[in-house]
Amino acid sequence: MESLTFNIDNGYLEGLVRGFKCGILKRDDYTNLVQCETLEDLKLHLQSTDYSNFLANEPSPLQVSTIDDKLKEKMVIEFQHMRNHAVEPLSTFLDYITYSYMIDNIILLITGTLHQRSISELITKCHPLGSFEQMEAIHVASTPAELYNAVLVDTPLAPYFIDCISEQDLDEMNIEIIRNTLYKAYIEDFYKFCEETGGATADVMCEALSFEADRRAFIITINSFGTELTKDDRAKLYPRCGRLHPDGLAALARADDYEQVRAVSEYYAEYKLLFEGSGTNPGEKTLEDKFFEYEVKLMVNGFMQQFHYGVFYAYVKLKEQECRNIIWIAECVAQQHRTKIDSYIPIF
Amino acid sequence: MGSLFRSEEMSLCQLFLQSEAAYACVSELGELGVVQFRDLNPDVNAFQRKFVNEVRRCAEMERKLRFLEKEIKKDEIPTLDAGDNPDAPAPREMIDLEATFEKLENEMKEVNANAEALKRNFLELTELKHILRKTQNFFEEEEHSIVDDAQHALGVDDSRPIASQAQPLQLGFVAGVILRERIPAFERMLWRVCRGNVFLKQAEIESPLEDPVTGDQVNKSVFIIFFQGDQLKSRVKKICEGFRATLYPCPETPAERREMAIGVMTRIEDLNTVLGQTQDHRHRVLVAAAKNITVWFIKVRKIKAIYHTLNLFNLDVTSKCLIAECWAPVVELDKIQLGLRRGTERSGSSVPSVLNRMETSEEPPTYFKTNKFTSAFQAIINAYGMANYREVNPAPYAIITFPFLFSVMFGDAGHGLIMFLFGLWMVVREKQLLTVKDAGEIWDTFFGGRYIILLMGLFSIYSGLLYNDAFSKSFNIFGSSWRVTDDFPIYGPNKSTIISHIQLSPNSTAFQGDVYPFGLDPVWQLSGNKIAYTNSYKMKLSIILGVSQMLFGVILSTFNHRYFKNTLNLFCEFLPQVLFLLCMFGYLVMLVFYKWIYFSAIERNSNCAPSLLIGLINMFLFTYPKAPCSSHTFYPGQQAVQTLLVVMAVLCLPWMLLVKPFILRWQAQRKIGGSMHHRSTRQVPKVTNINGDADDAAEEVVHHDDVDIIHIHKEKEEEFQFGEVMIHSAIHTIEYCLGTISHTASYLRLWALSLAHAQLSEVLWTMLFRIGLSMNGYHGSIIIAGVFFAWACCTIGILLLMEGLSAFLHTLRLHWVEFQSKFYTGAGYAFQAFSFAQIMEFKTDD
């Protein structure tokens, strides 16, 4: 039934996003990009891809940051175009995608103000997808409660923030806790929304969000070793919609070192593979990269099904990965540091 | 015109260009636009090619030009497009150009930066002016309330000294300007953060202000916030900063404010004069640039195109000359030689450039030299598929058949005349209309096909006259050969009532016996059996036209077979095909003519004439019944002739299917035997090559490679797969045989659309226009004007546009499917010349 009516509202946008997806750089493009000697070469090669003239009006010499801005700008323009043409419930779905960028922006701004950086300097670093009206006034708040009352209460993030109000003041540790609590609430809410939407959207998105939740749980656990975060507090930060929930999360909550985390992953076939393939030695991929790789695989698979919203999420994630790849290569080229240039994550 | 029958003969050429002359030569070739360069280093990345730096410099120059163009557009200065076409400048001129652009860009940037700073200053001052003006009101209101408050307080408690009373009233305030759309959120946040302890007044600035960076007009509002205490002050300031509000110092006493306002006004005036001067300077610079910008664009694009082309070339070992490979039409080779010589002379090089023709087994590109008349027809053919190299080109035949078949469906002299006049207008005003750019896709399509429209209109007038049909009315030019006589079927059975539907019969005495000299007798327009009469005529006509066109197509295939020296196809494809077609539908056409000539209403009873359709069916069933008179034979001995024809047609099937594959297999088997012997002898020279000395070796290796290529090529031919050939032949046979039948039936659309068109135009006349014509009195004249308007709109919209498009599409189909499938492969690739003219056109499209 869904496939009958899907195209009435969303056919154009799905077609559009699939078209955009075809513009994502292929393996051949990356092999060419890696061979570039200078950023000018990079620009020349990107001209022959779907990016075409996105750098044409930039005077040389090019900066990596300019490339980054332009990459983001292109993605944001595409996303905004889709958002402007979307109707319910797709528009809500697309809004959900932007919430994670909003969380990142808030955290960035709070951390920045904590370190006495000027707000105008920080604003340029914010991701344009996650900007909102009250964002720039965020530095009036000095406690989480103020933050909530003054800034966030009007934003869609308000319900996620309820759990953090009780924190006393804003220091590094608390900011990190706020970030993770926000993410937890966000992912769980998004998960619920996708479940309610049902159909192929639920199939694809629940898988993607479970992975996202589990990845966060793993990372939180690993990063918490050697900090003053108590195990109870830690357990509160785990998003409870992944495959790890509930047994895996309980085990993670008890973990004391990396080996124990690894032992938890043994019970889950797909995560076991990720942990086995990773390492910190040269030549080995880091766990983070492994997670990214797995995410890319999931997202590419998202395009296999039709008539669902997952493609929009997948496209944004893939595009983000592509930006990371290009920036990585550009940085390596700019700094003449070619030994690690190959550690990008090809998408197709 | 003669060249349109087949595509141009092409030849693969190798060019040896001296490095210093290469640029000038390529520039000359670009002006000529008759060569297609091949990429000789397809494996090399875009940024690893030889002239990548020059290309990059061109891109940079283009960027600067685009920047200038944007600035020129912003100031709405008209650019001068004289339509002149400067030559590509010499490479050394590139530096001058670069310097000019650099200078212009810097100047422009400087002016812009100045202007921006001035504008920002101006904006700030204007905002301040507004603040001073608006806050004046605030303070006045405030003063009253404060004084009231103070008096009120004094009234309540007299014992307190006034000084202490004034203390808590020491309110701080900030004033500023903010974007109007941010006010609600700003107000809400102020309220929340300061817990309602501030007082905000705001007023809109009526006139929009100009943003100095983007130049957009923005609406802003003045606000003033009163608060108490330093803590609140810092918070308020932070919020203001967060909402990008600009704060201005505002004096507290009215006198100071007035003074400041006067100061601001004088400064604004000063700034205005400075701003005016900056604008004038900017305008002067841009006007100077606008004069040349089109020429610069062309120059830079030409340079860029030349270096792009040079990047396709191979570098000689000694790097003294560049080697290029290109396809060029043989007839243009002299021109190319001349161009190369000119280029060499221009560059001052002493060594001439060499052009070598190469032998190749590769399929050359297809190139048609068209003019403005033939290009539209060629485009119709190319839209189906680019012709194979030197294949028979259907376009010259389509010039006549296309408008003709269209007119058979569109046959109406009135509509044809309108279409013809429209086409004529476009053709006559061609030059003026060509200069109109960006008129929309629909107009471009019509204008591109102006000659087709002209011819279609002309042919439609002709067939409309044949059908004697103009806006569904007939002309009685030569005088009808029917007279109203006693037995004219206008009267009912008892000769007193007049019946509305006249049934004409040539057997009655109403028919005078002589035939109307041209086209249809106009009397048929009045008769009730007109459709029955024209249907029979048009149906037969469609079959005759269809079979002749298909037969023509099959005959055209012989030109292909003979040109490509394919005798096998001539005997195993063409012959059975033409026999098959003639035995079935050629015979039918013959019977049609026979029936027309032999049977007439008066001499032989045409009511009892044999039916063509039943006759054709019976021919294949081998039944010849005697019962109804319409299934009698046409002529004695018909049974024997028809049996023979059917047997021949059936025999054509195995002929088409089997003969060719088996002959090919026999040839292949014979060849394998021969080449086994051939290959063993070739081993010997290879060995000697390896033993040869080093200098020779390089040359020999090339040679050896060549041999190998030929060898591989031969082997490819040798790989003969009988199954594949058989399947191919089966598909071909089935397609042709079924196609012959279905295509003949498909030509009946000529009749169907013609009928539909005639009926539709008749409906429009009787349902619309006749209402107006049958009105009496003065009001009738008004109504007839309105009705005519409606009728004319419907005629143009429905009959000319929609019906015309549908007839056009059906004609297109008849050509692509029914006609071209008989001989046209259309699997070639187009010749894409390196031509400046095309590059410029494409760029302006962007």
pLDDT per residue as tens digits for the range B402-432: 999 999 999 899 999 999 999 999 999 988 8
Of residues B23 and B676, more confidently modeled: B23
> Tens digits of per-residue pLDDT, B150-180?
455 444 444 444 444 444 456 788 888 888 8
* Alpha carbons A156 and A134: distance in angstroms, whole number: 12
Report in angstroms the alpha-carbon separations of B839 from A101, B40, B74, B258, B301.
Answer: 44, 21, 26, 64, 8
State mean pLDDT over B443-460: 92
Among residues of chain B, what percentage have pLDDT more than 70? 87
| B630 and B608 Cβ atoms separated by less than 8 Å | yes
Reading the block at residue B843, the tokens are 């760029």
pLDDT at B710: 43
Encode B254-275: b = buried (16+ Cβ within 10 Å), e = exposed. Answer: eeebeebbeebeeebeebeeeb
User: Which segment, A231-235, B78-82, B160-164, B316-320, is predicted with the most confidence on average?
Assistant: A231-235
* pLDDT of residue B690 exceeding 70: no
Q: With H, G, I as helix, E, B as strand and everything else as coil, classify residue B522.
A: helix
Residue B676, pLDDT score: 59
Average pLDDT, integer, range B438-462: 90
- Mean pLDDT for B36-48 is 81
| A window 130-189, beta carbon within 8 A of B | 133-140, 146, 149-151, 153-154
Q: Do A150 and B243 touch (CB under 8 A)?
A: no
- Residue B502 has phi, psi (to 5 degrees) of -85, 130
Q: Which of A76, A67, A77 is nearest to A33 (CA)?
A: A67
Which of A119, A133, A140 shows the shortest C-beta gap to B193? A140
| Percent of all residues in chain A with a pLDDT value above 90, rounded to a whole number | 29
More confident call, A280 vs B87: B87
Smallest CA-to-CA distance from A338 within A325, A329, A327 is with: A329
Is residue A315 predicted with pLDDT exceeding 90? Answer: yes
B243 chain-A contacts, CB cut-off 8 A = 136-137
C-beta separation of B395 from B368 below 8 A: yes
Percent pLDDT > 90 in chain B is 25
Q: Considering only the beta carbons, identify the residue of B52, B60, B189 that sits closest to A134.
A: B189
At CA B9, angle to CA B6 and CA B13, rounded to 5?
160
Q: Is the pLDDT of residue B347 over 50?
A: yes
Q: For residue B15, what are the β-bridge partners? A: B324, B355
Q: Write out B370-427 in H/E/C secondary structure.
A: CCCCHHHHHHHHHHHCCCCCCCECCHHHHHHHHHHHHHHHHCCHHHHHHHHHHHHHHH
Is the model's pLDDT at B59 over the cut of 80?
Answer: yes
Q: What is the pLDDT of residue B817?
A: 92
Q: What are phi and psi of A63, to 5 degrees?
A: -110, 150
Distance between CA atoms of residues B119 and B125, nearest Å: 10
Tell me what pLDDT residue B456 has. 95
ipTM over cut 0.90: no
B542: number of Cβ within 10 Å: 24
Q: What is the pLDDT of residue A101?
A: 93
Q: For residue B556, is pLDDT > 90?
A: yes
Predicted pLDDT at B810: 96
Cβ contact B47–A45 (<8 Å): yes
Q: Which residue has the higher pLDDT, B683 or B363?
A: B363
**In this complex, which of A40, A45, A139 lies closest to B238 when CB atoms are compared?**
A139
**pLDDT of B584 higher than 60:** yes
Q: How much is the pLDDT for B706? A: 42
CA distance A10 to chain B (A): 28
Candidates B66, B188, B244; nearest CB to A136: B244
Are B430 and B457 a contacting pair, CB within 8 Å?
no
Taking only the tens place, the pLDDT of each residue in B504-555 is 777 777 777 788 888 888 888 888 888 888 999 999 999 999 999 999 999 9
Q: Is A60 on the interface with B (CB under 8 A)?
A: yes
| pLDDT in the model for residue A77 | 92
pLDDT of residue B496: 56
Contact list, B56 vs chain A (CB under 8 Å)? 40, 44
Q: What is the pLDDT of residues B477-516, one digit of tens each?
A: 888 888 877 666 555 555 555 566 677 777 777 777 788 8
For residue B675, give every residue at least 6 positions away whose Cβ sits within 8 Å of its Cβ, in sequence order, or none. B714, B718
Interface membership of A35 toward B (CB under 8 Å): yes
> How far is residue B478's CA from residue B464's CA, in Å, rounded to a whole number?
16
Q: Is B345's pLDDT higher than 80?
A: yes
DSSP-derived pairing of the beta strands B172-179 and B36-37: unpaired
For residue B680, what pLDDT is reported? 46
What is the structure's pLDDT at B147? 52
The alpha carbon of residue A241 is apart from the nearest alpha carbon of chain B, in Å, by 35
pLDDT at B612: 87
Q: Is B487 on the interface with A (CB under 8 A)?
A: no
Average pLDDT over residues B261-269: 89
Q: What is the C-alpha separation between B542 and B544, in angstroms, rounded?
A: 5
A37:B52 CB<8 A: no
For residue A214, CA distances in Å to A210, A211, A220, A264, A294 come to 6, 5, 10, 12, 12
* φ, ψ at B209 (rounded to 5°): -105, 160
Smallest CA–CA distance from A154 into chain B, residue: B185
Residues shown for chain B: 846
Interface contact A149-B192, CB threshold 8 A: yes
Comparing alpha-carbon positions, the chain A residue that sits nearest to B45 is: A32
Mean pLDDT of chain B: 82
The 10s digit of each residue's pLDDT in A239-293 is 988 888 888 888 888 888 888 888 888 888 888 888 887 777 766 788 888 899 9
Is residue B699 over pLDDT 70?
no
As a residue count, chain A comes to 348
pLDDT higher at B153 or A306: A306
Q: Which band of pLDDT confidence, cut at 50, 70 and 90, is reported for residue A192?
A: very high
Q: What pLDDT score does B682 carry?
A: 42
Rg of chain A over all Cα atoms, to the nearest angstrom: 21
Give the residue, A120 or A180, on which the prediction is more confident.
Answer: A180
Paired with B325 in beta bridges are B14
B610-633 pLDDT per residue, tens: 888 888 888 888 888 877 777 778
Q: Is the pLDDT of residue B713 over 70?
A: no
**What part of B 287-306 touches A (C-beta under 8 Å)?**
none
Stronger pLDDT, B210 or A323, i.e. the higher one: A323
Examine the pLDDT at B691 and tell me if it is beyond 80.
Answer: no
> What are the b/e assignments for B659-695, b being 16+ CB within 10 Å?
bbbeebeeebeeeeeeeeeeeeeeeeeeeeeeeeeee
What's the whole-number average pLDDT of chain A? 86
Instruction: Look at phi and psi of residue B693 and say left if phi exceeds 0, alpha if psi is from -120 to 50, else beta.
Output: beta
Return the closest-CA partner of residue B8 out of B326, B324, B327.
Answer: B327
DSSP state of B2: G
∠ Cα B304 B307 B311 (to 5°)? 135
Residue A45 has pLDDT above 80, yes or no: yes
pLDDT in tens, A208-235: 999 999 999 999 988 888 888 888 888 8
Would you call A28 an interface residue with chain B, using a CB distance cutoff of 8 Å?
A: no
Q: How far is A48 from chain B (nearest CA, A)?
A: 9
Which of the residues B60, B192, B240 would you substitute to probe the A interface, choosing the one with the greatest number of A C-beta atoms within 10 Å?
B192
- Look at strands B10-18 and B354-358 and give their pairing: antiparallel
Q: In the prediction, which pLDDT does B426 show?
A: 93
A78-111 per-position pLDDT tens digit: 999 999 999 988 999 999 999 999 999 988 888 8
Residue B523: what pLDDT? 85
Token pair for A256: 């004391």
Give the model's pLDDT for residue B244: 81
A181 CA: distance to closest CA in chain B (Å) = 24
